[in-house]
């Protein structure tokens, strides 16, 4: 796959608003391994007050939170989805985000870009952030 630059994205003011409006954030690809970036970001989001829901194919608990196998399995409303998965998986994730009907923001981490998936999500009325670390942006925007 060739490198892709985000054609669809949000600016810092929009990102700040998304964080302010979110209460529950699902982290797709959250790892139980404390050396992984997804574990650090999930812990940070939990520690700054969001209800963090880990989505991972194995295990029962990550960072003290119940693990769900898929976005569709989550039985509470989800405001934001932060994605740590390969770009090729983003098309299916976009479909799952849209199918939920409650997600307000679709956020892909650094180096995760799929403009077709982002366009589909945006056309469904969902905010899009691509190629940004949720933890870095939150710290920067809120001076944490």
Model's pTM, two decimal places? Answer: 0.95
What gap in Å lies between CA 42 and CA 32, rounded to an integer? Answer: 10
List the chain domain ranges: 12-142
Is the model more confident about 1 or about 71?
71
How many residues belong to the chain?
Answer: 144
Tokens of 60: 């029962």
pLDDT at 2: 55
Residue 144 has pLDDT above 70, yes or no: yes
Mean pLDDT of 107-114: 94
CATH topology of domain 12-142: Rossmann fold (3.40.50)
35-53 pLDDT tens trace: 999 999 999 999 999 999 9
């Amino acid at each position: 796959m060739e490198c892709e630059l985000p054609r669809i994205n949000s600016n810092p003011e929009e990102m700040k608003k998304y964080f302010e409006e979110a209460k529950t954030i699902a982290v797709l690809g959250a790892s139980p391994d404390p050396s992984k970036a997804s574990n650090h970001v999930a812990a940070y989001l939990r520690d700054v007050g969001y209800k963090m829901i880990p989505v991972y194919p194995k295990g029962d608990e990550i960072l003290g939170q119940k693990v769900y196998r898929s976005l569709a399995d989550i039985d509470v409303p989800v405001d934001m989805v932060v994605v740590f998965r390969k770009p090729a998986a983003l098309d299916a994730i976009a479909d799952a985000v849209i199918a939920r009907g409650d997600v307000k923001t679709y956020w892909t981490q650094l180096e995760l870009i799929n403009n077709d998936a982002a366009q589909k999500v945006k056309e469904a009325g969902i905010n899009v952030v691509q190629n940004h670390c949720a933890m870095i942006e939150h710290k920067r925007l809120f001076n944490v």
